[in-house]
Amino acid sequence: MAKNVATKIIGNHLVEGEIKAGEEIAIRIDQTLTQDTTGTMAYLEFEVLGFPKVKTKRSVAYVDHNTLQAGFENADDHKYIQTAASKYGIYFSRPGNGICHQVNLERFDVPGQTLLGSDSHTPTGGGMGMLAIGAGGMDVTVAMGGGPYYLNMPKVVNVKLTGELQPWVSAKDIILELLSRVSVKGGVGKIFEYSGEGLKNITIPERATITNMGAELGATTSIFPSDEVTLQFLKAQNREKDWQELVADEGASYDEIIEIDLATVEPLVACPHSPDNVVKIKDLPKTKVDQVCIGSCTNSSYADLLKVATILKGKTIPTDVSLVISPGSRSVLTMLSDSGALTDMIKAGARILECACGPCIGMGQAPSTNAVSLRTFNRNFFGRSGTTSASVYLCSPEVAAVSALKGEITDPRGLEPIKINIPEKSFVNDNMIIAPSEEGKTVEIVKGPNIKPFPQSKELPSTVSGSVLLKMEDNITTDHIMPSPASLLPFRSNIPALSEYCLTPVDKEFPARAKQRGGGFLVAGENYGQGSSREHAALAPLYLGIKGVITLSFARIHKANLINSGILPLTFIEKADYTRLERDDELVINNLRQQIVAGEILVVQNKTQGYTFNVKLEVSLRLKEVLLAGGLLQYTKKHN
C-alpha cells in the first residue's frame, strides 16, 4: 500500500498496536531532548525510577529557558541538569549555546528517526523529516529509560503547497494562514504532512518555522519529506551522512487534504491573545508598536536574522520603540558576527540578547503597561509576556523589522524586496555541547536547596469527592494553569512553592480555596490545557489535591500529563451538564475503580443540585491501568 511519510516512520518504529487512526499505538524513540524548565522534573523522575543510564540512540539536555540568574536557583538547576546528564549518558548543551529546537535542528535531528522532547515545540524537528513529538517530562523519562511512547494514532492531514511565495511573504505567514483556517484546536489528534511542488523553494529553517508552530494547531506533530533541500542543509552542517531520502509513495492516502496556493498568502499577524486570531496586516487598523522582539524557536535562524539585519542596515529605530533580538543558537550568532550583520543590528539600536528563549517565556523584556509588543514568536497567550495589560501580536521577522523601523505594524509589500546570501557551509562548533561521562556511576549529582521532592500520586481510591473549585471557559492554556513569568520560573523544581500560583491568572483565590477544602475538581470548556508541555500544570494541581478535571475537551499533552500524575481527565457527554454545573457544587464519584474497569462512562453525583450526570473517561486499557495505579511513575515501578 502506498504510504505517506508519517506512516512510514511510525511503521518503522511500531512496537505495539495497529496503524489505524484513533487506535493506541506504541513507538520506539530514537532520540530525546529536555530543556531546563521541564528537565529538572524529568531527571528527578529518572532517579525515582532508578534507571542507571539512557537507552536511546541519543539524548540531549538543554539549558535555554531559565538563563536569567537573578538568584542561586537557576544556576543550581543548571548544575543539577549538567551532573545528572553526565551520569545518565546524556549530552549537555550549555546555557548560551542556544534554544533546544534550533540547536537540535542544526546538530542532531535525523530524517526518518523519532524524537520525543519535553517541550511542546519539539515538532520543529519535523522540518528535517523527523517524527518529532512534544510530551510531558514523565513520558520523556520513560522513553529515556528505553520504554516506548504511547499515543493514539493520529489522522494524517496532507497540506499541499503549490505556487511560490510573493516577496515579503515568508514561512511564518504560511503557518499563520493555516492557523486562521484550522484554529488552535483544529489539529488535535492529527499530523500535518506537507507536500507539493511549493516545497522545493522552502528551506529547512523555514520548514522548521512551520512545523514548530504546528504545535499551536494542537497537532500531534507536523512533518516535511526529506529531500534535496534537506541534504543541502545537512551538508552545510557537515552531517550529510545523516541524510536519507524520505518521501511519500506515489498515490499515498491521507485522511484529509488542505491546499495552500503560496502565491495567495499575504503578510499576516496574530492578534492578542491567541495564535489563531489572525488578520491580514493590510486589514489591521493603524497599530503603533512599543516593543518588537525577534527570535524564539520559531524564527531565529541565520536566514531569519540576516533578513532582519539587511532591513535594519543603515537605519535607526524610532526613540519610542524598543527592539530586542535573540539569536537561536551560538552558530547563528557567530555567523551574524562574522558576516557583519550583527554590527548592522547593533548600529540600528537593537538590544542583543543571549541565544535563549528570553522574552518568549517572559524571561525578561516584559513590555510596559498597556504596550503593544510585536513578536516573531509562536505564542501570545494572555499574560505570557509578563505584563497582563500588554497586547502581543505575532508576525514574521521581515514584518517585525520593517514595523520596528516604522513604529507601527506594517505590511512591507511595496518596499524594495531584499536579497540575502546564505553560505554553503554553516559555522559548526560543538564545544558548548558536553558529552556524558564514560564513568557515569562515579558522577555525583549536585542538587541545590531549591530542588524539592515532587508530589507523588497514590493508588486511585474507590470513591472520590470534592467541590468544583473553579469553572473555566474554552482554550485555557497551561500558562493560565501554571504561569511562568521570570519570577516563578526559578521554582520549576519546587512544586510546593509553584502551587501557590496555580491558576491564579483565572482566580487569585484558587490555591487558598483548594488548600482550605483539601482539593476537589476543576471544570472547563473546550481545549483545556493547550500550549506548553509543562507537567507542572498537572503536578501543582496534584499537590493542591485536585482529583479530577471535567472539560468539554482536552489538549493532547496536558491530558497525558494529568493521567501520568494520577488525575482523572473526564469529559462531559452533554454540553448542558457543563452549563448547569456551578462553582462550589459538591461532586461524588462512587465505585470509581469498578466504573473505570467496566467501561468509559462514569456516573457523577452532584450533591448540591441533587442530580447525576455522565462523563467519559476516554483512555486506552493501558491508561486505565496507569490511572488505577495512581499515575505513570507508580505504574512503571510496578511493571519494571
Contacting positions for ligand SF4 (CB under 6 A): 65, 99, 119, 121, 296-297, 357, 360-361, 377-378
Tell me the C-alpha distance between 508 and 519, whole Å.
16
Q: Taking CB under 6 A as the rule, does residue 66 contact ligand MIC?
A: no
Tell me the C-alpha distance between 392 and 381, whole Å.
8
Are 111 and 372 a contacting pair, CB within 8 Å? no
CA torsion 228-229-231-234 (nearest 10°) is 180
Partner touching 234 among ligand MIC, ligand SF4, none, CB below 5 to 8 Å by kind: none
Q: Taking CB under 6 A as the rule, does residue 532 contact ligand MIC?
A: yes
Handedness of CA 4, 10, 13, 18 (dihedral sign): negative
Name the segment binding ligand MIC (CB under 6 A); options: 20-28, 106-114, 412-420, 529-537. 529-537
Q: Taking CB under 6 A as the rule, does residue 65 contact ligand MIC?
A: yes
Name the segment binding ligand MIC (CB under 6 A); options: 114-122, 258-266, 575-583, 601-609. 114-122
Measured from the CB atom, the residue of 65 and 207 that comes closer to ligand SF4 is 65
Q: Taking CB under 6 A as the rule, does residue 534 contact ligand MIC?
A: yes
Which x/- pattern over 469-498 shows residues binding ligand MIC (rule: CB under 6 A)? ---------------x--------------
Partner touching 564 among ligand SF4, ligand MIC, none, CB below 5 to 8 Å by kind: none
Q: Taking CB under 6 A as the rule, does residue 78 contact ligand MIC?
A: no
Partner touching 426 among ligand MIC, ligand SF4, none, CB below 5 to 8 Å by kind: none
Are 51 and 84 a contacting pair, CB within 8 Å? no
Smallest separation, CB 379 to ligand MIC (Å): 6
Partner touching 380 among ligand SF4, ligand MIC, none, CB below 5 to 8 Å by kind: none
- Residues numbered 134 to 193 that lie near ligand MIC (CB under 6 A) are none
Which x/- pattern over 310-349 shows residues binding ligand MIC (rule: CB under 6 A)? ----------------------------------------
SS3 180: helix
Q: Taking CB under 6 A as the rule, does residue 121 contact ligand MIC?
A: yes
Tell me the C-alpha distance between 67 and 486, whole Å.
10
Measured from the CB atom, the residue of 260 and 392 that comes closer to ligand SF4 is 392
Q: How many helices (H) and strands (E) does the chain have?
A: 21, 27
- The DSSP H or E segment spanning 219 is none
Partner touching 296 among ligand SF4, ligand MIC, none, CB below 5 to 8 Å by kind: ligand SF4
Reported in sequence order, the residue ranges of 262-368 that DSSP labels E, i.e. its strands, are 268-270, 278-280, 291-294, 322-325, 351-352
SS3 393: strand
Partner touching 38 among ligand MIC, ligand SF4, none, CB below 5 to 8 Å by kind: ligand MIC
Measured from the CB atom, the residue of 220 and 484 that comes closer to ligand MIC is 484
Smallest separation, CB 394 to ligand MIC (Å): 13
Residue-wise over 615-625: b if at least 16 C-beta within 10 A, else e?
bebebeeebbe
Partner touching 210 among ligand SF4, ligand MIC, none, CB below 5 to 8 Å by kind: none
Measured from the CB atom, the residue of 489 and 604 that comes closer to ligand MIC is 489
Tell me the C-alpha distance between 633 and 7, whole Å.
30
Are 412 and 168 a contacting pair, CB within 8 Å? yes
Q: Taking CB under 6 A as the rule, does residue 101 contact ligand MIC?
A: no
CA torsion 61-62-68-69 (nearest 10°) is 30
Partner touching 534 among ligand MIC, ligand SF4, none, CB below 5 to 8 Å by kind: ligand MIC
Tell me the C-alpha distance between 376 and 99, whole Å.
15
Partner touching 363 among ligand SF4, ligand MIC, none, CB below 5 to 8 Å by kind: none
Residue from 119, 290, 344, 411 that binds ligand MIC (CB under 6 A)?
119
Residue from 37, 114, 226, 331 that binds ligand MIC (CB under 6 A)?
37
Q: Taking CB under 6 A as the rule, does residue 120 contact ligand MIC?
A: yes
Partner touching 149 among ligand MIC, ligand SF4, none, CB below 5 to 8 Å by kind: none
CB atoms within 10 A of CB 245: 13
Are 105 and 74 a contacting pair, CB within 8 Å? no
Q: Taking CB under 6 A as the rule, does residue 361 contact ligand MIC?
A: yes
SS3 402: helix
Measured from the CB atom, the residue of 322 and 533 that comes closer to ligand MIC is 533
The C-alpha R_g of the chain, in whole angstroms, comes to: 24
Tell me the C-alpha distance between 321 and 328, whole Å.
22
Tell me the C-alpha distance between 172 and 267, whole Å.
9
Measured from the CB atom, the residue of 297 and 568 that comes closer to ligand SF4 is 297
Partner touching 220 among ligand MIC, ligand SF4, none, CB below 5 to 8 Å by kind: none
Name the segment binding ligand MIC (CB under 6 A); options: 108-116, 146-154, 304-312, 530-538. 530-538
Tell me the C-alpha distance between 444 and 83, whole Å.
7
Partner touching 106 among ligand MIC, ligand SF4, none, CB below 5 to 8 Å by kind: none
Quick one: which of 231, 209, 106 has its CA closest to 165?
A: 209
SS3 58: strand
Q: Taking CB under 6 A as the rule, does residue 533 contact ligand MIC?
A: yes
Handedness of CA 590, 591, 592, 596 (dihedral sign): negative
Are 383 and 505 a contacting pair, CB within 8 Å? yes
Smallest separation, CB 451 to ligand MIC (Å): 16
Measured from the CB atom, the residue of 121 and 307 that comes closer to ligand MIC is 121
Residues that bind ligand MIC (CB under 6 A): 37-38, 65, 119-121, 361, 484, 531-534
